[in-house]
Amino acid sequence: MEEQPTFTDLFRLDGRQALIIGAGGIGSEAARALSDHGAQVTCADRDRVAAEETAAAVGGASLTLDVTDPEAVRQAAENLPDLDIVVLTAAMNVRKRIIDYSPGEFDRVVDLNLKGTFAVIKYFGERMVSRHRGSLIVFSSIRDQVVEPGQSVYAATKAGAVQLVKTAAAEFGGVGVRVNAISPGIVETALTGQIKSQPEWYQAYATKNALGRWSVPSELAGAVVYLASDASSYVTGTTLRVDGGWTAMDGRFTPPTD
């Protein structure tokens, strides 16, 4: 009689092939988590050093990849045809009000955050569909739902990425390929250095969420493992918010309740 898997086994990724695109910061922690759960991880980044450092930490391969180049993404998908898990964390932001935005800045943000997401879903999704299995995980942001001054193009691309995820889930689901998004809140990474350098701004963000603090990259890793594993076998087309309750709260003021 075949032994039934335990619930602990649902999170195991033994024998599965994973690709992390955006191997620094959050991507580095995601790679470590997937590796610790048994996956063989390839680490990709536009920054060759970042890809190599994370790959060395998890005993995996590295790949220099710029997702703004659709042909490079297509070639990477062709060279890695047996992937079970693809995680896309790469993104950028230009914080400017709409009237101050230049067309060039608009194009840079859209090319990475939206066109890059489309290319990854298209080319890696095509391979997964042909094999009738796989999990695609795209990092979005709380800005896919809530905004503030200076977030127009970034927020638009993140909302667009979520819609791409939903559509891919609808199109790929019939053959067993799942597509989901993760929406972090405020995370301690190099990309948030501008905020951390201004104590008032930094503290305002901390007090906006229910937990009253920033997150660290390792706190996103559990969501990646969950969506990559059989523990989420019936989850697709969803956005998993790892935001400390940011999008659950209405404003920064706590009114009296007496």
Average pLDDT over residues 104-133: 98
Specify whether the CB–CB gap between 42 and 80 falls below 8 A: yes
What are 217-252's pLDDT values in tens digits? 999 999 999 999 999 999 999 999 999 999 998 776
pLDDT confidence of residue 6? 83
pLDDT reading at 253 higher than 90: no
Closest alpha carbon to 213 in 203, 221, 225: 203
- Give catalytic status of residue 154 as yes or no: yes
Angle at which helices 152-172 and 116-131 pack, to 10 degrees? 10
Rg (C-alpha) for the chain, rounded Å, is 18
Beta bridge partners of 64: 45
Quote the tokens at residue 3: 């032994």
Q: State the architecture of 12-187+216-243 in CATH terms.
A: 3-Layer(aba) Sandwich (3.40)
Specify whether the CB–CB gap between 45 and 90 falls below 8 A: yes
Would you place residue 192 in the very low, low, confident or very high pLDDT band (cuts 50, 70, 90)? confident
The one catalytic residue in 154, 202, 205, 226 is 154
Average pLDDT over residues 85-104: 96
Strands (E), 14-147: 17-21, 40-45, 61-64, 85-88, 134-139
pTM of the prediction? 0.94
Burial class (CB in 10 A: 0-12, 13-18, 19+), 209: buried
Amino acid of residue 101: Y
Specify whether the CB–CB gap between 52 and 32 falls below 8 A: no
The answer for residues whose C-beta is within 8 angstroms of residue 39's C-beta and 6 or more apart is 13, 14, 16, 17, 18, 84, 85, 228
pLDDT confidence of residue 214? 94
Per DSSP, 79 falls in state: H
| Segments making up each domain of the chain, as ranges | 12-187+216-243
Would you place residue 258 in the very low, low, confident or very high pLDDT band (cuts 50, 70, 90)? low
